[in-house]
Amino acid sequence: MADVVARDVRIAPIGKRASGRSFVRRKSMIAFMMALPLILVIACLVIYPAFYAIHLATLNKSMTKFVGFGNFLFLFKRSTFWMVVEQSVLFAVTAVIFKAVIGFIVAHFVHNIPQKGQRKWRGMLLIPWVIPPAMSTLAWLWLFDPSYSAFNWVFAHLGLPEVPWLGNPYWARAGVILVNVWVGSPFFMIMYLAALKSVPEQLHEAAAIDGANWLQKIWYINLPMMRNIIQITALFSLIVTFANFDIVKILTNGGPVDQTHVFATWSFVLGIWGNDLPLGASVSLFMFPILAVAAILILRNVRKRGNEA
Amino acid sequence: MTTTTAQIGRPAPRAVRYGSISRGQRRALYWSYFFLVLFVIFFLMPPVYMLITSLKSSAEIGAVTNPWWVYHPTLENYTTLLTQKSFLTFFRNSAVVSVLVVSLSMVISVLAAFSLARMKFWGSATLATGVFLTYLIPDTLLFIPLFKIFAWIHDQTGIELINHWWVLIFLYPTLTVPFCTWIMIGYFSSIPKELDEAALIDGAGYMQILTRVFIPVALPGIIAATIFAFTVSWANFLYPLAFTTSEDQLVLPVGIVTTLIKGDVYNWGQIMTGALLGAAPPLIIYAFLMDYYIAGLTAGATKG
């Protein structure tokens, strides 16, 4: 605010000596008008629906009667709900950890090779992130096909037993995580590679003189230097993974016996297919606490980073 | 550069032996390449497999042969799909929705980012933070209340919003506008103040400063945001699945999933062809504008 005033003082003597104040007012009016479309979009299509979901969750199925916490109490009594909670957390946490580890390792390999080849490798490794997830999940569905699985064909030739990819609950859970890791780890790779580039070379040289090996260099130099980006990326990915819909919907559609449902897919099944919008809204609201915590942590990290720079 | 970076993939020798550094580095390099090849195989396997399957006839897919090889390549699946009226409708719906959403969200977000990054008004700092927070609200939380709101609008005004492809034009901005605004604020804030002060002294209005100074200078950011908006609106699956059902109102991802999979009969050749064609537009844009794409990706979390 202070610099705006200072700038106007500097401009004022040129023409409008007396109208400095109205100039400031006019300027903020124009600024507000320019931001108005954004405010309208956010208010009407994001903020209002988000609060409306809370209201919706307190109604009965035909949306005629207020039932308070009735929908939530109903959910707490269903074993499927607790299974969905468990699977959502398991899915998001496991997938984010794998994505972060793979992204970190691959970023180091890319950083390791000569500069001029890096662009080409980076370009190939980012392809899973570029393909619409719904489309690439179809390819995975075909790779996991019960009778024509291309993986099982390879396994058969290597003398390994056949894997019931999506038929068995445990393999199906592993399968959705695998596909999510495949889609998401290139994003981590790109973020971590950018962070690695900003680690000063002198630190590595000093460590080399002190006789540090590669593991010590990663542990004592790269990890602390990249800490902020590692946290931001992981938290951001946690939000996206927790709210994931496409992969589970196409790959297993929640099956076998609802074992792979996450909040998003289950709320879709209840709300849109089951025609019980309030119940669907109640399920999807359970994503909110985790999203809120992650969002606050990200915001703190981004701010901290802004102050450092 | 090469003196120190090349030591990560190496199985660590316990003691540093002088004179063997260059040999160790070469070995580290070979290991890096070895693992990179493994990861590239893992990352490119599904799209490659899509391509392989799309070139096969149904008879070959059903036969017990090597699934990783095409013995009798044919373009049958491509010609079938590209002459099919419904598939072309999906493509047109997707293209129209994406182009309109991209234009709309870029206009909204560039104007808003300029005003939030430079002009400031009462509450603008809070709004900038708010934009970031709304960008973290996922579509999976919003689709049910939006569905109900649209049904309510129908009851009140008689305008039918559900089951029309153009309703997606109102839905996708919930995903694109906050992110595009957020990264444009980052790019605009990095433009030196002297530049717009000079333009202001020369008598330029705010619109002129935006169009003559900010947009040309921040063009890489604008390209990155445009690519992002396009990719998101092309790829979204949840909104069209929830809001559109008639075959002529579907967009590409949902069209492929719902119409090519009929009951338990999977025509995998066509499904893979459709998936590949659906993935093609983002892939082509990425192939030409990779650097902008990556700049946008890293800017989202680090700028601001």
| Tens-place pLDDT, residues B101-149 | 999 999 999 999 999 988 878 888 888 888 888 888 888 999 999 999 9
pLDDT at B304: 34
- Does residue B196 carry a pLDDT above 80? yes
Return d(Cα A17, Cα A10) in angstroms, integer. Answer: 11
CATH superfamily of domain region B77-302: MetI-like (1.10.3720.10)
Contacts of B107 (CB under 8 A, 6+ apart): A37
Residue B27, chain A, CB below 8 Å: the answer is: no
Q: Residue A294 — very low, low, confident or very high, per pLDDT cuts 50/70/90?
A: confident
From chain A, pick out residues whose CB is under 8 angstroms from the CB of B233.
Answer: none
pLDDT at A22: 77
Return d(Cα B40, Cα A225) in angstroms, integer. Answer: 27
pLDDT at A305: 63
From chain B, pick out residues whose CB is under 8 angstroms from the CB of A29.
Answer: 121
pLDDT, average across residues A94-120:
92
Residue of A nearest to B175 (CA): A46
Facing residues of B262 across strands? Answer: B265
Tokens 């959403």 sit on residue: B101
Please indicate whether, in this complex, the C-beta atoms of A115 and B271 are within 8 angstroms of each other: no
SS3 (DSSP) at A89: helix
Q: Are the C-beta atoms of residues B293 and B183 closer than 8 Å to each other? A: no
ipTM exceeds 0.90, yes or no: no
Give the one of B12, B127, B129 whose C-beta lies nearest to A299's C-beta.
B129
Residue of B nearest to A7 (CA): B197
pLDDT at A306: 56
Return d(Cα B249, Cα B94) in angstroms, integer. Answer: 10
From chain B, pick out residues whose CB is under 8 angstroms from the CB of A240.
Answer: 138
Give the one of B8, B44, B146 whose C-beta lies nearest to A214's C-beta.
B8
Residue of A nearest to B173 (CA): A41
pLDDT tens digits, A192-209: 998 898 888 898 889 888
From chain A, pick out residues whose CB is under 8 angstroms from the CB of B133.
Answer: 295, 299
Please indicate whether, in this complex, the C-beta atoms of B43 and A63 are within 8 angstroms of each other: no
Helix, strand, coil: what percent of chain B each, to 5?
A: 75, 0, 25
> Looking at chain B, how many residues does it have?
304
Return d(Cα B44, Cα A174) in angstroms, integer. Answer: 20
Q: Select the residue from B7, B87, B120, B141 to test the A interface by mutation, using most A Cβ atoms within 10 A.
A: B141
Closest CA to A111 of B10, B7, B294: B7
Classify domain A70-308 by CATH architecture: Orthogonal Bundle (1.10)
pLDDT tens digits, A243-259: 899 999 999 888 788 88
From chain B, pick out residues whose CB is under 8 angstroms from the CB of A139.
Answer: 46-47, 49-50, 272, 275
Give the one of B62, B145, B257 whose C-beta lies nearest to A49's C-beta.
B145
Residue of A nearest to B242 (CA): A272
Highest mean pLDDT among A49-58, A94-103, A151-160, A273-282: A94-103
Closest CA to A117 of B43, B8, B6, B44: B6
Interface of B with A in 40-79 (CB under 8 A): 40, 42-47, 49-50, 53, 61-62, 66-68
Alpha helices in chain A (DSSP H): 2-11, 20-42, 48-56, 70-76, 79-112, 115-125, 127-130, 133-143, 150-157, 169-197, 201-209, 214-217, 223-242, 246-251, 263-268, 277-285, 288-308
- Does residue B21 carry a pLDDT above 60? no
Residue A309, chain B, CB below 8 Å: the answer is: no
Q: Where are the beta strands (DSSP E) in chain B?
A: 261-262, 265-266
Q: Phi and psi at residue A153, in whole multiples of 5°?
A: -60, -45
Q: Are the C-beta atoms of residues B49 and B23 closer than 8 Å to each other? A: no
Return d(Cα A288, Cα A285) in angstroms, integer. Answer: 5
pLDDT at A41: 92
Facing residues of B261 across strands? Answer: B266
Cβ neighbours of B198 (radius 10 Å): 13
Alpha helices in A243-287 (DSSP H): 246-251, 263-268, 277-285
Residue A5, chain B, CB below 8 Å: the answer is: no
Interface of B with A in 264-303 (CB under 8 A): 266, 268, 271-272, 275-276, 278-279, 282-283, 286, 290, 293-294, 297-298, 301-302
Residue of B nearest to A239 (CA): B136
Residue B96, chain A, CB below 8 Å: the answer is: no
Largest pairwise CA distance in chain A: 89
Q: Are the C-beta atoms of residues A110 and B27 closer than 8 Å to each other? A: no
Return d(Cα A43, Cα B25) in angstroms, integer. Answer: 56
Tokens 């938290």 sit on residue: A235
Q: Residue A300 — very low, low, confident or very high, per pLDDT cuts 50/70/90?
A: confident
Q: Domain boundaries in chain A?
A: 2-56, 70-308
Please indicate whether, in this complex, the C-beta atoms of B36 and A109 are within 8 angstroms of each other: yes
In which region does residue B190 sit, left (phi positive, over 0), alpha (psi from -120 to 50) or beta (all else)? alpha
pLDDT tens digits, B216-251: 989 989 999 999 999 999 999 999 999 998 888 899
pLDDT at B206: 84
Return d(Cα B221, Cα B215) in angstroms, integer. Answer: 9
Least Cα separation, residue A66 to chain B (angstroms): 16
Residue B180: both structure tokens together: 């595009």
Return d(Cα A213, Cα A13) in angstroms, integer. Answer: 64
Please indicate whether, in this complex, the C-beta atoms of B142 and A233 are within 8 angstroms of each other: no
